[in-house]
């Protein structure tokens, strides 16, 4: 996961309503949208980044070096910084910074999630334990330690099962094993992915859990003093049945019946309470089958990638604006989601190779309903498909009069794209 040394930068805004510290890892898509939201709100920004970005070159005079993995030391340095530059909010834009954000906000007396709750949200085994204790429908699971023999472990789990890292996101390292014969190879593959992502070279445990059949949805919400403010329910019309779990299309509003949507909202609220989360954005994944609503995962952050661009509230308010308003204690305007349907397609990477071009972009943009197309991997870079990969080729957006129209537009436009590689 991203981490290591960060640089905190001070950006001057002459119409300051508040000052917010944003913890932004180097590999995130969210920088522009959060900075734009802060500018619209008149919020002075302190940016945390692991590398000396273009922003750093413009503002050499204000820097604070932090280590995202050393929570105690980094919290102390943020507190010391805040004595001279008081902060109204500490916001992590991705998973990497959520623990430091909670710790620093706690030390500064700002609205925050309890550190223990964020730790549980970042550890899928602890998350499962708390969901089970709260009586939520959630997959049966066990952790597998490094020294355990895969052949022996295979005799203790139910098939099909899903093997996954404890703390990675974006479906990286998540693989389905259908039977006892394939399990050792799947476990070895996931262990290798986890080891490659550990900055300290450790090989921690992985999670093995029951595979839950059914339709999957995602929930975007904001916790405000422990109360859940539901912002959107996204349908995922493409089946996610393995062997990998690459997400593609999200569409909102959901086409599920009102009763099911109400149950999804209540299940998400119960899950947040089970983890102990109280303040800030959450992103949840749930499955629905004839047994009910299953709670899969809940993260103490907002939706990843550029997917938040599907969401507009009130008179064009962005998700990032809502997050900053809440964190900084600014007035919260009416923010019902826009009436039109909206959706995003996370463009999958079908095969590896060095990217030469993505052809057909003009044709894709001309499809009725397409609202934007961003290719986020530049030519010349290596494409790595899931489960080893950790990013998408890009993001495509659509709006329309109905969820079905949005989904159709995304599929038609995607069919125009052709990925050209040298491999």
The full DSSP string for 313-341 is: BTTTB-HHHHHHHHHHT------PBPSSE
CATH superfamily of 140-210: ATP-grasp fold, A domain (3.30.1490.20)
Contact by Cβ (8 Å): 264, 219: yes
Whether 1 shows a pLDDT value over 50: the answer reads: no
Q: Is the peptide bond before 243 cis (omega within 30 degrees of 0)?
A: yes
Q: What is the pLDDT of residues 222-264, one digit of tens each?
A: 999 999 999 999 999 999 999 999 999 999 999 999 999 999 9
Whether 306 shows a pLDDT value over 90: the answer reads: yes
| pLDDT (average), residues 355-367 | 98
Q: What is the pLDDT of residues 85-144, one digit of tens each?
A: 999 999 999 998 999 999 999 999 998 999 999 999 999 999 999 999 999 999 999 999
Residue 307 has what pLDDT? 96
pTM, rounded to two decimals: 0.92
Ranges in the chain annotated CATH 3.30.470.20: 340-423
Ranges in the chain annotated CATH 3.30.1490.20: 140-210
Confidence of residue 14 (pLDDT cuts 50, 70, 90): very low
Tell me the CA distances in angstroms from 161 to 170, 177, 301, 311, one per residue in order.
18, 5, 27, 34
> Domain 5-119: which CATH class?
alpha beta
Ranges in the chain annotated CATH 3.40.50.20: 5-119
Q: What is the pLDDT of residues 146-156, one digit of tens each?
A: 889 999 999 99
Q: How would you write 102-116 as a 3-class SS string?
A: HHHHHHHCCCCCCHH
CATH superfamily of 340-423: ATP-grasp fold, B domain (3.30.470.20)
Q: What is the pLDDT of residues 366-422, one digit of tens each?
A: 999 999 999 999 999 999 999 999 899 999 999 999 999 999 999 999 999 999 999
Confidence of residue 11 (pLDDT cuts 50, 70, 90): very low
Whether 53 shows a pLDDT value over 60: the answer reads: no
| pLDDT (average), residues 213-221 | 98
């Amino acid at each position: 996961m991203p981490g290591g040394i960060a640089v905190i930068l001070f950006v001057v805004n002459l119409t300051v309503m508040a000052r917010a510290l944003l913890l932004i890892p180097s590999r995130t898509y969210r920088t522009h949208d959060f900075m734009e939201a802060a500018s619209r709100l008149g919020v002075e920004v302190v940016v945390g980044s692991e590398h000396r970005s273009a922003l750093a070159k413009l503002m050499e005079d204000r820097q604070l070096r932090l280590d995202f993995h050393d929570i105690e030391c980094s919290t102390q340095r943020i507190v010391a910084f805040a004595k001279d530059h008081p902060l109204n909010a500490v916001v992590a834009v991705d998973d990497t910074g959520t623990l430091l954000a909670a710790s620093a906000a706690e030390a500064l007396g700002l609205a925050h999630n309890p550190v223990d709750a964020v730790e549980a949200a970042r550890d899928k085994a602890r998350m499962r334990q708390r969901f089970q204790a709260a009586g939520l429908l959630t997959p049966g699971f066990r952790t597998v330690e490094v020294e355990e023999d895969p052949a022996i472990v295979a005799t203790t789990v139910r098939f099909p099962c899903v093997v996954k890292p404890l703390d990675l996101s974006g479906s990286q390292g998540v693989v389905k094993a259908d039977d006892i014969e394939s399990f050792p190879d799947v476990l070895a593959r996931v262990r290798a992915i986890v080891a490659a992502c550990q900055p300290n070279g450790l090989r921690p445990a992985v999670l093995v859990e029951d595979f839950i059949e059914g339709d999957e949805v995602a929930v975007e919400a904001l916790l405000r003093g422990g109360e859940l403010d539901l912002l959107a329910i996204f349908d995922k019309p493409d089946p996610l049945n393995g062997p990998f779990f690459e997400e593609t299309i999200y569409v909102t509003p959901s086409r599920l019946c009102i009763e099911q949507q109400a149950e999804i909202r209540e299940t998400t609220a119960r899950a947040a309470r089970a983890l102990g989360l109280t303040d800030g954005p959450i992103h949840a994944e749930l499955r629905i089958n004839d047994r009910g609503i299953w709670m899969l995962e809940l993260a103490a952050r907002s939706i990843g990638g550029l997917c938040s661009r599907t969401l507009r509230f009130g008179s064009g308010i962005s998700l990032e604006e809502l997050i900053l308003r809440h964190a900084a204690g600014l007035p919260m305007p009416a923010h019902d989601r826009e009436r039109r349907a909206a959706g995003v397609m996370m463009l999958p990477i079908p095969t590896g190779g060095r990217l030469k071009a993505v052809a057909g972009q003009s044709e894709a943009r001309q499809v009725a309903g397409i609202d934007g197309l961003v290719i986020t991997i530049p030519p010349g870079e290596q494409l790595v498909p899931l489960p080893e990969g950790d990013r998408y080729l890009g993001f495509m957006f659509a709006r329309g009069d109905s969820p079905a129209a949005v989904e159709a537009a995304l599929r038609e436009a995607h069919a125009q794209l052709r990925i050209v590689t040298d491999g």
